[in-house]
């Protein structure tokens, strides 16, 4: 389980720029997802081999009459409560402001490690000016320049020192199916409906993600862990914000899952937050099944209603449309076992390995008949292809000019892959490499 680091401060001090720098330090960014409220983002970063989750919060403005700023303040306090370490960012150009003092007072009420980062320090004069921030009473500070990256190494070294000890997660060979979605979409009810009739439950054990529960489950001759992300401890000092915790639970559960069962409320539709969760799973290369719950509550259903609803979802998730979409009712148990059976199939698709010879026998004739378009008068010749030895489907195509193969042709190859091999519900990565 990765630790959480929250970046806080008043508006316009460079928090988002610093956040973007953090999540781009990895060669492969795990994800950066917009939150459900204004100016909050989630991302993954690492430093010196230590991974952590980063929250970029909106600017904290105490006592504002602006309805958006009041909401942002609430979200900042929730982020502080959830975080293990706080990076408090200030602006050397503006000096110590009343709003900075408000944030410092807020942080003193929480027993969390705080690192004071003074931004925009890009010359010696500004480094001298930074001394005045001692008046905030937060001890030592770190001078940085978010745009150039100056000083961020020292700040991150200090951050790693104060992060809590990384928990050792007991490895399990069982696949993990995470049930994710908005609050009140029916996640817990879905799992409860399965458990209520199923006789093969082994045990409930604490999950590797915070506030989630793993349920060992055996059906269809296949054993796996179901991860319920609905169980969340109420925070004693902070008014619970269901949207905030829904996203945080989803981030953690998705990171540790093999297949994500995305449940949405049919009466609310495939809205922005559900879409965020979907793309979070897709970018993390997880198998995906979409369940449209509460279908029994949809009124005025006609012959083509399911077809039209499916088309709207597929339009929202383009170009990754090869995803199973099932219409269920947890209340009446309509198609809930079909949903689990489908999740098992998606897991098997994600684990599929294609023999190199068979792969080339099918793909090379397709490529010969439909070669990549010429670029600047140069022709790309693909001679060989293979599946990479990774936990999820990734394929390498070896050619003479990999830099000239554009995304539309990669999508063409992906479509042909899906046409000849069943990868329904699974993201596919295609790489062009020099022969």
* Residue 211 marked as a ligand binder: no
CA proximity to 249, closest of 225, 269, 273 = 273
**13 marked as part of a ligand binding site:** yes
Q: Does the annotation flag 57 for ligand binding?
A: yes
Residue 50 is labelled as binding a ligand: no
Q: Say if residue 124 carries a ligand binding annotation.
A: no
To the question of whether residue 58 is assigned a binding role by annotation, the answer is yes
**What tokens appear for 163 in the block?**
């992060």
418 is known to lie in a ligand binding site: no
Consult the annotation and say whether 188 binds a ligand: yes
Distance between CA atoms of 210 and 187, rounded to whole angstroms?
A: 17
Per the CB < 8 A criterion, the answer to whether 90 and 133 are in contact is: yes
* Residue 10 marked ligand-binding: yes
296 is in an annotated binding site: yes
The encoded tokens of residue 180 equal: 């994710």
Exposed/middle/buried for 126, CB within 10 Å: 0-12, 13-18, 19+?
middle
Q: How many angstroms separate the Cα of 405 from the Cα of each of 83, 112, 380, 384? A: 43, 49, 7, 15
Q: Is 40 annotated as a binding residue?
A: no
Check the annotation: does 210 bind a ligand: no
- Token pair, residue 31, equals 């994800």
- 230 labelled ligand-binding: yes
Are 291 and 318 in contact, with CB atoms under 8 Å apart?
no
- Determine whether the annotation assigns residue 122 to a binding site: yes
* Annotated binding-site residue? 182: yes
Q: Which of 312, 37, 340, 63 is nearest to 179 (CA)?
A: 340
| Residue 56 annotated as lining a ligand binding site | yes
d(C-alpha 428, C-alpha 415), whole Å: 10
295 among annotated binding-site residues = yes
> Is 14 known to sit in a ligand binding site?
yes
What totals of helices (H) and strands (E) does the chain contain, helices first?
A: 12, 17
Strand-strand pairing, 287-293 and 325-327: parallel
Q: Which DSSP letter does residue 390 get?
A: S
Please give the distance of CA 376 from its chain centroid, rounded to a whole number: 38
Q: Is 112 annotated as a binding residue?
A: no
d(CA 245, CA 239): 11
Whether residue 232 is annotated as binding a ligand: the answer is: yes
What is the DSSP annotation of 228-270?
A: E----PPPSSS---HHHHHHHHHHHHHHT-SEEEEEEETTT-S
Tell me how far apart the alpha carbons of residues 258 and 307 are, in angstroms, rounded to a whole number: 28
Choose among 244, 263, 254: nearest CA to 209. 254
Which among 2, 134, 99 has a CA at the least distance from the CA of 55? Answer: 2
Whether 253 and 229 have beta carbons less than 8 Å apart is answered as: yes
- Is 370 annotated as a binding-site member? no
Instruction: Determine whether the annotation assigns residue 70 to a binding site.
Output: no
Residue ranges of the annotated binding site for GTP are 9-16, 56-60, 119-122, 181-188, 228-232, 293-296
Binding positions:
9-16, 56-60, 119-122, 181-188, 228-232, 293-296
């Amino acid at each position: 389980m990765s630790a959480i680091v929250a970046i806080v401060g008043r508006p316009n001090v460079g928090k988002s720029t610093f956040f973007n720098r953090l999540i781009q330090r990895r060669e492969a960014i795990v994800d950066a997802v917009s939150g459900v409220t204004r100016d909050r983002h989630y991302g993954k970063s690492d430093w010196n081999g230590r991974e952590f989750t980063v929250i970029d919060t909106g600017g904290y403005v105490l006592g504002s009459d602006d309805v958006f700023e009041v909401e942002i303040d609430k979200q900042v306090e929730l982020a502080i409560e959830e975080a293990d370490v706080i990076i408090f960012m200030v602006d050397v150009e503006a000096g110590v402001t009343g709003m900075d003092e408000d944030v410092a007072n807020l942080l003193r009420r929480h027993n969390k490690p705080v690192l004071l980062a003074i931004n925009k320090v890009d010359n010696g004069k500004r480094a001298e000016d930074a001394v005045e921030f001692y008046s905030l009473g937060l001890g030592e500070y770190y001078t940085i320049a978010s745009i150039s990256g100056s000083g961020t190494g020292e700040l991150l070294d200090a951050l790693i020192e104060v992060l809590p000890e990384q928990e050792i997660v007991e490895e399990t060979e069982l696949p993990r199916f995470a049930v994710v979605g908005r609050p009140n979409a029916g996640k817990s009810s879905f799992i409860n409906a399965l458990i209520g009739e199923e006789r093969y439950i082994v045990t409930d054990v604490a999950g590797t993600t915070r506030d989630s529960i793993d349920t060992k489950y055996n059906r269809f001759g296949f054993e796996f862990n179901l991860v319920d992300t609905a169980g969340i401890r109420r925070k004693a000092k902070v008014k619970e914000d269901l949207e905030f915790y829904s996203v945080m639970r989803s981030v953690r559960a998705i990171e540790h899952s093999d297949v994500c069962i995305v449940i949405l409320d049919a009466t609310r539709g495939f809205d922005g937050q559900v879409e965020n969760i979907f793309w979070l799973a897709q970018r993390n290369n997880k198998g995906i099944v979409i369940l449209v719950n509460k279908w029994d509550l949809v009124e005025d259903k006609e012959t083509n209603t399911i077809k039209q609803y499916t088309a709207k979802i597929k339009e929202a998730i383009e170009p990754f449309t090869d995803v199973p979409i099932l219409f269920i009712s947890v209340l009446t148990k309509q198609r809930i076992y079909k949903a689990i059976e489908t999740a098992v199939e998606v897991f098997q698709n994600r684990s599929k390995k294609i023999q190199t010879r068979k792969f080339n026998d099918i793909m090379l004739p397709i490529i010969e008949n439909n070669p990549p378009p010429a670029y600047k008068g140069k022709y790309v010749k693909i001679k060989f292809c293979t599946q990479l030895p990774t936990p999820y489907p990734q394929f390498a195509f070896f050619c003479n000019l990999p830099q000239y193969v554009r995304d539309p042709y990669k999508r063409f190859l992906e479509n042909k892959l899906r046409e000849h091999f069943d990868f329904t519900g699974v993201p596919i990565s295609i790489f062009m490499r020099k022969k």
